[in-house]
Amino acid sequence: MDRKYNFYAGPAILPYEVMKKVQEELLDYNGIGLSVMEISHRSKDFINILEAAEEKIRSLMKIPDNYAVMFIQGGATLQFDMIPMNFLKGGKADYVNTGSWAKKAIKEAKLFGNVNIAGTSEDRNFNYIPDIALSADAAYVHVTSNETIGGIQFHTFPETGDIPLIVDMSSDIFSRKLDITKFGAIYAGAQKNMGPAGVTVVIMRNDLVDKGPEDIASMLSYRTYRENKSSFNTPPCFAIYIVKLVMEWLETQGGLEAIEARNNEKAKILYEAIDNLSLYKGAAEVKDRSKMNVTFRIYPEELEAKFLKEAGEQGMIGLKGHRSVGGCRASIYNAMPLAGVKTLVNFMEKFEKENK
């Protein structure tokens, strides 16, 4: 079997050890003679999986007891709706416009109340994190911690005082240590750093969960998920099972401190290659460069297609930049091994020699 290095922005590569275990257990989980897909979500075996997934998320991220950890369907995109449905309610919220994902969140929020753009980097096609001017009376402040298309990332988060900071962390959750108490809520689709598409993790301070309206659809109220331990209806059991395995893998890697160090190293090697070689140019402002999605261009641009084709032939796929910005992009989430980044850098050096 010839495994590839997948540099796609998502769904992303998963740890090989996790995939091997999923394969081994696929027909017979824990000796029960059935797959995790084939058992009741009310069975002891599945409840153990769900509880372990939550517990491991809590311990890896050091989440205090006054926060709920919930598994929800619909991706971060449904959170773009659920957040304002629960907390905006005709009032005002501050949104920071850092790119494609922030724009989608803003568009949905406008259906439910007033959106104040507290900062935007649209003037330079979202290649930097803008300065932020917060309202005094916002219901919450919303930011996107990492933009996969522009390749920019908040390396520090804004101080929002008593106003809850709500963060879409879909593309960099579990990539670094964080002080959870600074956040009102964090949400993330699984398909970059946690597991397969189909489950979203929402970490939310209990007083915010309590603030949701009473007359809202059950499936759109955070209370429903907290009070039913994410099992008001059948949760996406198999996706949650894989999240649990990825959390166990993170533990074996040394937790968030160790994975952060490795992510820093991977990003450093790749950005150094971009800066030191002459064929490549980083797309994002240096101070705001993402450690998850490394965006760059190749000059002359005619070489890009050749670069992508030859990389693909050598087992490196998904390096094409998003159609809205062009160029190249290497997504190097937690599960991308250092060897994958080194293979890419070696190829970039070789390609430069051959094409300069």
Q: Which of 101, 172, 266, 288 is catalytic?
A: 101
Tokens of 347: 């190829």
Distance CA 167, CA 34 (A): 38
Q: Are 86 and 222 in contact (CB under 8 A)?
A: yes
- 17 touches its own copies by CB under 8 A: no
DSSP line for 263-313: HHHHHHHHHHHHHHSSSEEESS-GGGB-SSEEEEEESSTTHHHHHHHHHHH
- 327 touches its own copies by CB under 8 A: no
Residue with tokens 């949400």: 187
**Is 192 considered catalytic here?**
yes
Q: Which amino acid is at 325?
A: V
Secondary structure tally for the chain: helices H, strands E: 10, 14
Tokens of 30: 């824990």
- 27 touches its own copies by CB under 8 A: yes
Distance CA 274, CA 282 (A): 6
Look at the chain and count its residues.
356
Minimum distance of its own copies from residue 19's CB (angstroms): 6
List the one residue from 90, 162, 217, 302 that touches its own copies (CB under 8 A): 217
Minimum distance of its own copies from residue 8's CB (angstroms): 4
**Is 101 considered catalytic here?**
yes
Residues 269-308, mask of contacts with its own copies (x by CB under 8 A): ----------------------------------------
List the one residue from 132, 239, 246, 298 that touches its own copies (CB under 8 A): 239
Residues in binding contact with its own copies, number by CB under 8 A: 65
List the one residue from 55, 59, 62, 111 that touches its own copies (CB under 8 A): 111
Minimum distance of its own copies from residue 246's CB (angstroms): 11
**Toward its own copies, which CB reaches closer, 145 or 160?**
145
